[in-house]
């Protein structure tokens, strides 16, 4: 193992709650859904999720599963870990305005706090050392970063469009 591998392992272990189900990020997500009186079965939402969101998820799986895309995966993960805190602050504020209890908001609180740290780790302990190690191929990290950013923006626009269409079908409620 090397320091880059060790840092990535630590980041993923944190995402999975260090093996404790109650600390796994998906457990916090389930608690958030329950606090908002929403269904917790992912299958319930599949028909509602725009294809752009699923494509973004599929891209992440593709990059993480294929060794040749490792540097692109790192670039995408760098984008994700640095962008999430800013986006989640808005969700956190909305949840507070909606009166969602603190334990229901813990999903956003956790991600804001953890992903700020993860973003620093990804930049300083992973991406920059990989640039030094693979200087001729480091452009692939930039490519992965840009792909994640662009696909995230497209997915976000698709979600907004889907919400607006749903509002119109309900009689223009806002």
122 contacts 84 by C-beta, under 8 angstroms: no
Q: Which pLDDT belongs to residue 22? A: 77
pLDDT digits (tens, 9 = 90+) for 16-71: 777 777 777 888 999 999 999 999 998 999 989 999 999 999 999 999 999 999 99
**What are the residues whose beta carbons fall under 8 Å from the beta carbon of 31, sequence distance 6 or more?**
103, 104, 106, 107
How far CA 64 is from CA of 74, 75, 78, in Å, comes to 9, 11, 13
pTM assigned to the model = 0.89
pLDDT band at 172 (very low <50, low <70, confident <90, very high): low
Element (H, E) at 161: helix 139-169
Helix ranges (H only) for 16-138 are 25-35, 51-65, 70-97, 102-120, 128-133
Q: Domains of the chain (ranges plus CATH)?
A: 3-169 (1.20.910.10)
How far CA 118 is from CA of 45, 126, 154, in Å, comes to 28, 10, 24
Structure tokens at 56: 């973004």
């Amino acid at each position: 193992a090397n320091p880059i591998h060790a840092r990535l392992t630590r980041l993923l272990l944190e995402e999975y709650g260090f093996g404790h189900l109650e600390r796994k990020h998906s457990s916090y997500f389930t608690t958030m859904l329950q606090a908002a009186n929403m269904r917790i079965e992912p299958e319930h939402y599949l028909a509602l999720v725009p294809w752009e969101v699923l494509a973004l998820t599929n891209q992440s799986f593709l990059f993480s599963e294929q060794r040749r895309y490792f540097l692109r995966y790192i670039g995408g993960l760098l984008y994700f870990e640095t962008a999430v805190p800013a986006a989640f602050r808005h969700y956190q504020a909305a949840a507070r305005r909606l009166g969602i209890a603190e334990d229901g908001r813990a999903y956003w609180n956790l991600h804001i706090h953890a992903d700020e740290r993860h973003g620093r780790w990804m930049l300083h302990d992973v991406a920059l050392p990989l640039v030094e190690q693979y200087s001729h191929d480091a452009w692939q990290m930039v490519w992965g970063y840009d792909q994640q950013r662009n696909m995230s923006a497209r997915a976000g626009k698709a979600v907004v469009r889907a919400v607006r269409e749903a509002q119109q079908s309900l009689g223009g409620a806002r």
